[in-house]
């Protein structure tokens, strides 16, 4: 279970634009209205301002408008809102495990499992964006850190992009995977949520209570939605390989584990 902590500093704050506390915000949006001749442009900008007013921006002004094809217009609207944020009521999810060095992670895996920890990774569905999964898995890594392939006690199987869910389940079974890592960058029409739900259901059906640990990552996930999506952990934007490795060790190779353990696969519903 994730810990929560309050943001340091207590008080009421407003957005900052030109001067402190002036409530100024900038909003970008697209409306399905054409940006053609003069009358169409005037109507498009009026529509954007009407929407901004309904969102509580008063006064508001269109500072940029550009047609996107024959039927859409992109806007940037600048204005003032009256809403405030109470910092004393803001909570954030805190990492529930320490970030380990590669040497520390390798030692924990070797001591607890007595074998290599097996990780299968992929981009599922129609998602062809492998930058995220490669940054975590490939030895070249990300943000100055080596990826999981660098860890001596982790065996990585990177299936790449546009992997079918059935293929992922079959490969995880064939490799006796301890953990499955899935990256989802394509989010149109909430494809990342649909794919994750389908993936989790397939693993639950195939493995029952002895399924691999399921980890998903991507820029549009709600980090608190793991339980609702049927997975064990969600990572968001800016995640580094050491964070993922440390979580895997935390979940699958706890301190004091004895070598030669059977598969530490997650039991569904276990704490």
The CATH number for 72's domain is 3.30.30.60
What are the percentages of helix, strand and coil residues in the chain, rounded to 5?
A: 35, 25, 40
Please give the model's pTM, rounded to 2 decimal places. 0.76
Question: Residue 9: its pLDDT value, please?
Answer: 52
Question: Residue 166: its pLDDT value, please?
Answer: 96
Domain extent, residue 17, equals: 12-85
Task: Using the predicted structure, report yes or no on whether residue 43 has a pLDDT greater than 90.
Answer: yes
Report the percent of the chain where pLDDT is more than 90. Answer: 70
106 shares its domain with 232: yes
Mean pLDDT, the chain, integer? 89
29 shares its domain with 136: no
Task: Using the predicted structure, report yes or no on whether residue 2 has a pLDDT greater than 70.
Answer: no
Pairing status of strand 72-80 against strand 60-68: antiparallel
19 shares its domain with 142: no
47 shares its domain with 126: no
Boundary of a domain, candidates 64, 85, 106: 85
Cα–Cα distance measured from residue 24 to residue 33, given in angstroms and rounded to the nearest whole number: 26
- Total domain count, the chain: 2
Question: Residue 258: its pLDDT value, please?
Answer: 56
73 shares its domain with 157: no
Boundary of a domain, candidates 62, 85, 108: 85
Active site residues: 140
The answer to whether residues 31 and 51 touch, using CB atoms and an 8 Å cutoff, is yes
109 shares its domain with 211: yes
Q: Which of 253, 249, 230 is nearest to 182 (CA)?
A: 230
Question: Residue 270: its pLDDT value, please?
Answer: 40
Boundary of a domain, candidates 56, 85, 114: 85
In a domain, 6, yes or no: no
Question: Given pLDDT bands bounded at 50, 70 and 90, which one contains residue 189?
Answer: confident
In a domain, 165, yes or no: yes
Question: Given pLDDT bands bounded at 50, 70 and 90, which one contains residue 267?
Answer: low
- Which CATH number fits the domain that encloses residue 154? 3.40.50.280
Question: Given pLDDT bands bounded at 50, 70 and 90, which one contains residue 268?
Answer: very low
133 shares its domain with 232: yes
Question: Residue 127: its pLDDT value, please?
Answer: 80
Question: Given pLDDT bands bounded at 50, 70 and 90, which one contains residue 260?
Answer: very low
46 shares its domain with 132: no
In a domain, 109, yes or no: yes
133 shares its domain with 226: yes
67 shares its domain with 127: no
In a domain, 42, yes or no: yes
In a domain, 269, yes or no: no
37 shares its domain with 105: no
Question: Residue 237: its pLDDT value, please?
Answer: 86
In a domain, 229, yes or no: yes
76 shares its domain with 102: no
Sequence-ordered alpha helix ranges (H) in 36-182? 38-54, 102-113, 131-137, 165-174
Task: Using the predicted structure, report yes or no on whether residue 115 has a pLDDT greater than 50.
Answer: yes
Q: Which of 27, 35, 44 is nearest to 68 (CA)?
A: 35
Question: Residue 269: its pLDDT value, please?
Answer: 43
Query: Residues 72-105: pLDDT tens digits?
Result: 999 999 999 999 999 888 887 788 899 999 999 9
Task: Using the predicted structure, report yes or no on whether residue 261 has a pLDDT greater than 50.
Answer: no
Task: Using the predicted structure, report yes or no on whether residue 8 has a pLDDT greater than 80.
Answer: no
């Amino acid at each position: 279970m994730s810990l929560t902590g309050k943001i340091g500093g207590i008080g009421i704050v407003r957005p900052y634009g030109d001067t402190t506390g002036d409530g100024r915000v900038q909003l970008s949006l697209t409306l399905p209205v054409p940006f053609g001749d003069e009358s169409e442009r005037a109507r498009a900008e009026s529509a954007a301002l009407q929407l901004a007013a309904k969102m509580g921006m008063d006064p508001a002004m269109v500072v940029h408008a550009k047609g996107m094809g024959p039927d859409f217009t992109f806007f940037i609207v600048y204005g003032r809102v009256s809403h405030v944020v109470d910092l004393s009521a803001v909570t954030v999810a805190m990492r529930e495990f320490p970030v380990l060095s590669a040497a520390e992670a390798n030692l924990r895996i070797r001591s607890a499992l007595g074998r290599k920890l097996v990780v299968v990774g992929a981009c599922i569905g129609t998602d062809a964006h492998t930058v995220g999964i490669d940054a975590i898995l490939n030895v070249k890594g990300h943000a100055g850190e080596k990826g999981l392939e660098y860890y001596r006690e982790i065996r990585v199987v990177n299936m790449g992009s546009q992997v079918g869910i059935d293929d992922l389940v079959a490969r995880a079974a064939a490799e006796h995977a301890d953990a499955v890592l899935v990256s989802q960058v394509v989010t149109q029409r909430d494809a990342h949520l649909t794919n994750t739900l389908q993936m989790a259901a397939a693993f639950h059906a195939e493995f029952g209570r002895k399924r691999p640990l399921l980890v998903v990552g991507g820029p549009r996930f709600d980090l608190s939605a793991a339980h609702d999506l049927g997975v064990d952990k969600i990572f968001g934007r800016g995640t580094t390989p050491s964070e993922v490795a440390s979580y895997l060790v935390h979940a699958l190779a706890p301190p004091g584990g004895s070598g030669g353990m059977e598969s530490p696969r997650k039991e569904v519903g276990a704490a």
